C-alpha cells in the first residue's frame, strides 16, 4: 500500500477528487469506446465502469493515464459510463453518469429480388439492434455506385444498368454512427435488348432471316414479326440469329427481338421493318409471287 504521496497532516491518506470533464465517444464504424477526463491531483490511477442499460452487464477499464478505450462492447446497446480516481487506499466518488449509444449492428441475411417487369431490384434484410435507418449501396462491375435509403428493412434500386453485375451491401445508421457494411450479395441484372437488328427476305419460301448483336448475359432470344394484317410469327433460339417462316406477301412486318437470361426477359429491341411488294400475277399458272422487298 502506497502512503507517502497521499498523507495529510495527520499521516492519513485522503480520498482523491473525482475526475472532471469526462468525455466518451464511440469510434465509427469500429465501435471502440474512447473515454478521457482531466487528470486528478494525487490520483494513482483511474477505473471506469461501463454498464449495459438493458442487461446491467458491466465492463471495467483501468488506466494510470486520464484516458481509456474499450473495444468489446455489444453493438446497438446503450451504456452508462462512470469514472473514479484512486490512490493507494481509496476510491473517489463516481462521476456523473454519461449514456452513450454503441454502433448499430451490421445488417444480416441480405436478399435480392429482381422485378422482371420493370427491371428494378428490391433489397431486403433482417432488422438489427440499434438501427434507426439503413443505407443500401450497389456498385456495378465498372465501379459506379448508387444508394437507396430506408427507415424499414427494404429498399429498391429502380434503374440498374442492364446486362451488368452489381455487388450490393447494407449498413445500419443511428444518430451517432453507421455500422460496418454487410457482406456483398451479387446481382446479375436483366439482359439488355438486342441491338443492330438486320433482316433479309427469301421470297420463294416466304421467310425472313434475322440477325442481331448478342446481349451480355442472355442465354436465349425470341424474335417476333407482326404484319399489317395482324399475322404474327415467332422464333426461339439460343444464338443471335433466326428465321421467321410462313410470312404473307405484300405486308410490312414489324420485327422485334427480346433476350432472356432464363429468368427475366429484356425489353423489346428497337422496331425493325421489312416490306415486300404487292404480289404479281405470273402466267400461265395464275399464281402469285413476291417481288424483291424493300427495307425500312
User: In the chain, count of helices (H) and strands (E)?
Assistant: 0, 24
Rounded Cα–Cα distance for residues 220 and 95 (Å): 71
pLDDT tens track for 171-182: 999 988 999 999
pLDDT tens track for 1-48: 333 444 444 555 678 888 999 999 999 999 999 999 999 988 899 999
Picking from 155, 188, 221, the residue at the C-terminal end of a domain is 188
Query: Distance of alpha carbon 249 from its chain centroid, rounded?
Result: 52
Picking from 45, 75, 101, the residue at the C-terminal end of a domain is 101
Q: In DSSP terms, which residues pair with 195 in a beta bridge? A: 213
Torsion of CA 242, 248, 250, 253, to 10 degrees: -40
pLDDT tens track for 237-295: 999 999 999 888 888 999 999 999 999 999 999 999 987 655 655 555 445 455 555 44
* Residues spanned by the domain of 22: 4-101
Rounded Cα–Cα distance for residues 88 and 82 (Å): 20
Q: Is 262 exposed, middle or buried (0-12, 13-18, 19+ CB in 10 A)?
A: exposed
Percent of the chain at pLDDT exceeding 70: 89
Q: Are 75 and 154 in the same domain?
A: no
Q: Are 12 and 75 in the same domain?
A: yes
The pLDDT of residue 89 is above 70: yes
Q: Are 149 and 226 in the same domain?
A: no
Q: Are 83 and 130 in the same domain?
A: no
Q: In DSSP terms, which residues pair with 59 in a beta bridge? A: 50
Q: Are 165 and 225 in the same domain?
A: no
Phi, psi dihedral angles at 90 (to 5 degrees)? -135, 155
C-alpha cell belonging to residue 30? 469500429
pLDDT tens track for 111-163: 999 998 888 999 999 988 889 999 999 999 889 999 999 999 999 999 899 99
Rounded Cα–Cα distance for residues 31 and 64 (Å): 23
Res 128: pLDDT: 80
In sign, the C-alpha dihedral spanning 244, 245, 246, 251 is: positive
Asked, as a colleague might, if the bond just before 284 is cis with ω within 30 of 0, I would say yes
Contact predicate 53/80, CB 8 Å = yes
C-alpha cell belonging to residue 170? 447494407
Picking from 156, 188, 220, the residue at the C-terminal end of a domain is 188
Looking at the 3D structure of the chain, how many domains does it have?
3
Pick from 63, 77, 73: nearest CA to 22: 63
- Could you tell me the CATH number of the domain that includes residue 11? 2.60.40.10
Q: Are 162 and 74 in the same domain?
A: no
Contact predicate 87/16, CB 8 Å = yes
Provide the whole-model pTM: 0.76
Rg, C-alpha atoms of the chain = 36
Amino acid at each position: 500500500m502506497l502512503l507517502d504521496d497521499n498523507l495529510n497532516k495527520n499521516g492519513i491518506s485522503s480520498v482523491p477528487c473525482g475526475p472532471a470533464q469526462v468525455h466518451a465517444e464511440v469510434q465509427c464504424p469500429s465501435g471502440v469506446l474512447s473515454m478521457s477526463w482531466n487528470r486528478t491531483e494525487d490520483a494513482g490511477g483511474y477505473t471506469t465502469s461501463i454498464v449495459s442499460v438493458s442487461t446491467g452487464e458491466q465492463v471495467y477499464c483501468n488506466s494510470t493515464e486520464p484516458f481509456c478505450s474499450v473495444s468489446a462492447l455489444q453493438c446497438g446497446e446503450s451504456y452508462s459510463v462512470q469514472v473514479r480516481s484512486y490512490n493507494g487506499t481509496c476510491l473517489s466518488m463516481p462521476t456523473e453518469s454519461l449514456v452513450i449509444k454503441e454502433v448499430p449492428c451490421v445488417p444480416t441475411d441480405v436478399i435480392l429480388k429482381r422485378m422482371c417487369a420493370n427491371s428494378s431490384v428490391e433489397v431486403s434484410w433482417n432488422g438489427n439492434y440499434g438501427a434507426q435507418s439503413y443505407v443500401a449501396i450497389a456498385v456495378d462491375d465498372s465501379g459506379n455506385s448508387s444508394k437507396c435509403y430506408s427507415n424499414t428493412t427494404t429498399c429498391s434500386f429502380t434503374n440498374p444498368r442492364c446486362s451488368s453485375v452489381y455487388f450490393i451491401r447494407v449498413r445500419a445508421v443511428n444518430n451517432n454512427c453507421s455500422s460496418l457494411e454487410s457482406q456483398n450479395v451479387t446481382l446479375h441484372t436483366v439482359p439488355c435488348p438486342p441491338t443492330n437488328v438486320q433482316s433479309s427476305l427469301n421470297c420463294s419460301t416466304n421467310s425472313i432471316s434475322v440477325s442481331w448483336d448478342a446481349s451480355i448475359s442472355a442465354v436465349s432470344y425470341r424474335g417476333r414479326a407482326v404484319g399489317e394484317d395482324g399475322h404474327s410469327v415467332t422464333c426461339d433460339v439460343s444464338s443471335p440469329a433466326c428465321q421467321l417462316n410462313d410470312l404473307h406477301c405484300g405486308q410490312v412486318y414489324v420485327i422485334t427481338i427480346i433476350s432472356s437470361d432464363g429468368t427475366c426477359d429484356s425489353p423489346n429491341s428497337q422496331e425493325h421493318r421489312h416490306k415486300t411488294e404487292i404480289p404479281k400475277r405470273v402466267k400461265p399458272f395464275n399464281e402469285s409471287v413476291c417481288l424483291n422487298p424493300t427495307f425500312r
